[in-house]
Structure 1
Amino acid sequence: MRVLAFDTSNYTTSVAFFDGTAGHNISRLLDVEQGALGLRQSDALFAHVKRLPELADRLFSDIGTDAGFEAVGVSTRPRAVEGSYMPCFLAGESQARVLGAALGVPVLPFSHQQGHIAASLWGSGHMELMDEPHLAWHLSGGTTELLRVTPEGKGSVHAEKIGGTTDISAGQLIDRTGKLLGLPFPSGKHIDALSRSAQDRQVFRVKVQETTFSLSGVQNKVEQYHAAGNSPEETAGYALRCLIGAIVRATENALLEYPGSCVVFAGGVASNTLLRSSCAALPAVFCPPQFATDNALGVAVLTWRALHG
């Protein structure tokens, strides 16, 4: 039997299925005007409502409906902590509950963050870590958190924040750098591509206190670096080197407290080429980029595990 899943994050609409072995995810970024740094929640919610029927049609066209579905999973909030809420997740939740009622199957809620972790583990071929304590980075446009992940009942995971940024996120730094350079939003893949041509090795060393750091100062340094006449390629590389240096040092400090742990990288920023190469000496787990960015497949994996263990 199979399960369905929905995820309507701040900038991506996703639908997916999973059958315990194979999965299929269809996602599409929300449209953001050139020069803008995202969408208001009301606009994102409206965009998801318009987009979901199209993506569901594509999914069912690919996988068919004859075999039936035994549950519907959905991300209902950013993190599995009290007070975590964003209106955009209402779009996926409402669709999931209507579909669950029509099919007569349970609707299982998870957090967007739990889905990211599950997608990274499935995509990297390390599903065994779902049942073992490990560390994880959730690096995205809205979140830069270092997590201590432990198994939770019914096949899910519990994620406790143990570090990360105290202000702007990794994705925000990258997108603000992209805006500085006139790049489309979100800017992650464009900054990644530009940085591959960078030759300079200059870097601003971010102060890391155990596993915590601030990135607002990096934004100022990037602006100064670009204003000094450095090219878009060099500016992109400079921004990434500053950011990744902080992430690597925070990870090394965390491994002193949790020796022997694997470190799973999740979220759109985890698809960055320089980040992956910079973590070569760490016990790092990276998945293919399509499972690092926002997707519903991780929620589908969690849904299936909740039913089958």
Structure 2
Amino acid sequence: MLVLGIESSCDETALALVADGRPLASVLASQADIHALFGGVVPELASREHYRYMGPLFDELMRRARLEPRALDLVCAARGPGLLGSLLVGVAFAKALALGLGVPFLGIDHLHAHLLAAGIDHELPFPCMGLLVSGGHTHIYRVESPSRFITLGRTLDDAAGEAFDKAAKLAGLPYPGGALLDSLARSGDPCAVALPRPYLDNANLDFSFSGLKTAAALWLEKSCPDAWPKPLPRAEAAPQALRDFCAAFNEAVVDTLCAKVERALRQNPDISALIVAGGVAANSLLRERMAGLMRRRGGECLVPAPALCTDNAVMTAYAGWLLGKAGYRHDLGMETIPRGKKIPEDMQGPPVS
């Protein structure tokens, strides 16, 4: 089965082909330089850029794969959650292509696709635990199968990746600052700055990172108002105080994520595997700590390759392949779902097990 996947949930326009579960070809156009001018993603600009890139990227993808569009067996697109205007561009293109070729169409949950991407390089043992950490979402799932995800916990405000980017911006790091904050943290002392581990004094599995962001802002304002130029001209110029702050913030987020995941695992003793996915899964400290947590429990931690942690179309196509081979489909009336709304279980095909 040859599956086309389209990803346009935020500011990356990406298309990929997966053949019988293996990535065949992929293309991607990033808008990072455009949105960096504004310090964050501008939804209207993002959707216009998706519209501009979509057709040429599809042509380039088929050229690289040396295939004709009629070779496609299934067309998939991320249906949400994400920026509504951006999602509509990808979904409309996918629906039109499926209609024109006379092949099935399938809308993919962007968050589930992030976690399922671990199956490209690893065998996915079901049931397993899934931690999705990205710029817009922080979720803990019990994953029963490629089609059944049970939400155990989620963020009540800022997502982990959003907290990283906001803290980086407050510290004067260039957009997007989360990855740079992680890099600077490796040469800092996390004990030099006292930051809280937020929302742990409870029994649930939800997250709240807004208080940590506020504590970071107050520390930066009080302790280092003029300690370094903002914005920082280059990463190499970062003083030790900034590196220490990055290390402390990094550790606070990772400690919080680990505490909640360990709590979820205790509540689900039949699970011995953890998938960590999403953009923040590329964070070096998070990968190290989660791997250690699972080793101590006699289990395994599965993380997609770094290129598959950020938004990409390979994960969309792969999730489509898993669901498509099981017989799932959508009709062309399927709706896109913006961030903040729950994606309905409306696929046609075999019953959810």
Q: Give the TM-score, by structure 1 length.
A: 0.88
Q: Are 1:15 and 1:296, in contact at CA under 8 Å, matched by a contact in 2? A: yes
Instruction: Give the corresponding residue for 2:281.
Output: 270
- Work out the CA distance in 2 between the residues paired with 1:216 and 1:277: 24
1:102-117 aligned at under 5 Å gives the runs 102-117=100-115
Instruction: Give the corresponding residue for 2:79.
Output: 76
Q: Are 2:12 and 2:31, in contact at CA under 8 Å, matched by a contact in 1? A: yes
Structure 2 runs not aligned, ≥5 long:
225-239, 295-300, 327-353
Q: What amino acid maps onto 1:239 in structure 2? A: F
In structure 2, relative to structure 1, the CA distance for the partners of 1:43 and 1:240 (3 Å cut) is same
**How many residue pairs are counted as aligned between the two chains?**
296
* CA deviation vs aligned residue, 1:17-37 (integer Å, no higher than 9, x gap): 101142033233324443634
- Work out the CA distance in 2 between the residues paired with 1:21 and 1:302: 9
Instruction: Give the corresponding residue for 2:67.
Output: 65
Instruction: Give the corresponding residue for 1:120.
Output: 118
Provide the secondary structure at the position in 1 that maps to 2:248: helix
1:294 aligns to 2:295 (yes or no): no
Cα RMSD, aligned residues only: 2.1
Instruction: Give the corresponding residue for 1:81.
Output: none
* CA deviation vs aligned residue, 1:105-148 (integer Å, no higher than 9, x gap): 111112111211221332x413x33xx12211111111011112
Q: Are 1:178 and 1:191, in contact at CA under 8 Å, matched by a contact in 2? A: yes
Q: Which of 138, 157, 161 is the aligned partner of 2:147?
A: 157
- Work out the CA distance in 2 between the residues paired with 1:276 and 1:141: 17
Larger radius of gyration: 2
* CA deviation vs aligned residue, 1:224-247 (integer Å, no higher than 9, x gap): 333413632222212111111110
Q: What amino acid maps onto 1:205 in structure 2? A: R
33-42 or 19-28: bigger deviation:
33-42
Provide the secondary structure at the position in 2 that maps to 1:206: coil
Shift of 1:260: 4.1
Instruction: Give the corresponding residue for 2:10.
Output: 10
Instruction: Give the corresponding residue for 1:180.
Output: 170
- Work out the CA distance in 1 between the residues paired with 2:42 and 2:35: 12
Instruction: Give the corresponding residue for 2:213.
Output: 219
Instruction: Give the corresponding residue for 1:55.
Output: 57
Q: Which of 193, 197, 200 is the aligned partner of 2:187?
A: 197
- Work out the CA distance in 1 between the residues paired with 2:61 and 2:261: 38
* CA deviation vs aligned residue, 1:235-262 (integer Å, no higher than 9, x gap): 2212111111110000110011112422
Structure 1 runs not aligned, ≥5 long:
79-83
Instruction: Give the corresponding residue for 2:260.
Output: 250
Shift of 1:273: 0.5
Q: Which has the larger share of strand?
A: 1
Shift of 1:85: 7.5
- Work out the CA distance in 2 between the residues paired with 1:47 and 1:232: 35
Shift of 1:185: 2.4
* CA deviation vs aligned residue, 1:250-292 (integer Å, no higher than 9, x gap): 0110011112422211110111101111223223221211111
266-275 or 226-235: bigger deviation:
226-235
Q: Give the TM-score, by structure 2 length.
A: 0.78
Identity %: 26
